[in-house]
Structure 1
């Protein structure tokens, strides 16, 4: 909650422009660094609404404050009259975002020519938009997208580096000891996923975590 002391307003009623200006300044002060250039559009107060002149206002976000999207600011006057108004705010962030250059199906391993860059308002996207194509190249789409659709981080998976039936290196680590052996993968796996493998020497089935190189790690 931020308290703002204002100059005495002229007349009996608060100036709507002063309320809008105070709300815009409050929202801008709370924007993350990568949204500092966003345009803040204050929606209100509604025409015809009048509030007694205020010398001290308090500002605070009402409900969930999305730093990259629409917000609501609660404006409360504490003196000389007590009143509260809720002001909707829209953020417009025109920035470069990565989009699909053509319709792409689920499971597509993305290449550079699958992607384009356009400028658009990113504040109304449902997730974190990818802004650098190199962050998407080599990733796998979790589901299909239309041409021109923004690529979000939540749409992407790392490619599978282990496939069922493949011989892999099984590494057991613990207490400064590292032992490697050969095993057979029983499931497909991406880095960070846990899969089942069968130790080729003992025949024992073990659950381990796939690393970036395609080995499977198990603690002991």
Structure 2
């Protein structure tokens, strides 16, 4: 009886154990699917951002570019089935620097969600070796190459020294900071009220005359100039400080 009772008790324990195991397997299967879906999204996002950074490095002509990614897959991904097709991302403008967000979609499962990432970028770029104030014309002596950590505000930056040297400072440039396009402009070779030499040439004919600038402008910009001999107002184009040319 004792043995029979012991056997019966063991039978109950074994039944409970089998029931627990049978319940556990589906949970493990779901957990595996969730884990795989999250990993699938994270890996696809990593590949996308890597591709975008490498493409920018080639386009910008950067010799040295380092970046670190931290992908943040939303909690809603836990409820999504594994995508059997290739994940697709909406295109986004600008460089993936700082906090970025991309919309990822799965066509065969019909789901989409937004994935965020933190992108830390360090690049070797030309920077000013001193503070450059508004109006200064930048020379080669003002520029040096340094490894700089970039932030979200540095997306519209200049990556080549030839794009900086000879330009005029439109907005103050800080020392050893990324130089942005909006901080630069073509130098103002002519200011309003300046006396200028007007050069005119056509079919071998050349002449020059005195003029007065009615507008300010830099290289290639069309400005109004008054011919002081005739009083006529013409359109001319700055060639250098104090010199403009007409086009026929």
Verify same fold: TM over 0.5.
yes
**2:82 equivalent in structure 1:** 53
Larger % of helix: which? 2
Residue aligned with 2:93, SS: coil
Alpha carbons of structure 1 residues 31 and 96: separation in structure 2 relative to 1, 3 Å: closer
Structure 1 CA distance, aligned partners of 2:106 and 2:159? 41
Q: Structure 2 length normalisation: TM-score?
A: 0.66
1:199 to 227, 236, 248: 227
Distance change (3 Å), C-alpha of 1:212 and 1:113:
closer
Residue of 31, 40, 48 corresponding to 1:26: 48
Q: 2:113 aligns with which of 85, 96, 99?
A: 85
For 1:73, the equivalent position in structure 2 comes to 102
Secondary structure at the counterpart of residue 109 of structure 1: coil
5+ residue gaps in structure 2?
Answer: 1-27, 59-64
The CA deviation at 1:48 is 7.6
- Aligned with residue 212 of structure 2, among 181, 185, 207: 185
Q: CA deviation at 1:20?
A: 0.9
The 8 Å contact of residues 40 and 89 in structure 1, kept in 2 or not, is answered as no
Q: Output the TM-score relative to the length of structure 1.
A: 0.73
Q: Which residue of structure 1 lines up, in the alignment, with residue 29 of structure 2?
A: 11
C-alpha distance in 1 between matches for 2:52 and 2:143: 33
Q: Can you give the 5+ residue segments of structure 1 that lack an aligned partner in the other structure?
A: 1-9
Range 30-39 or range 93-102, more displaced = 30-39
Give the superposition deviation at 1:156: 1.5
Map 1:95-110 → 2, pairs under 5 A: 95-110=123-138
Q: Does 1:143 align with 2:161?
A: no
Cα distance between partner residues in 1 of 2:170 and 2:44: 43
SS at 1:161 equivalent: strand
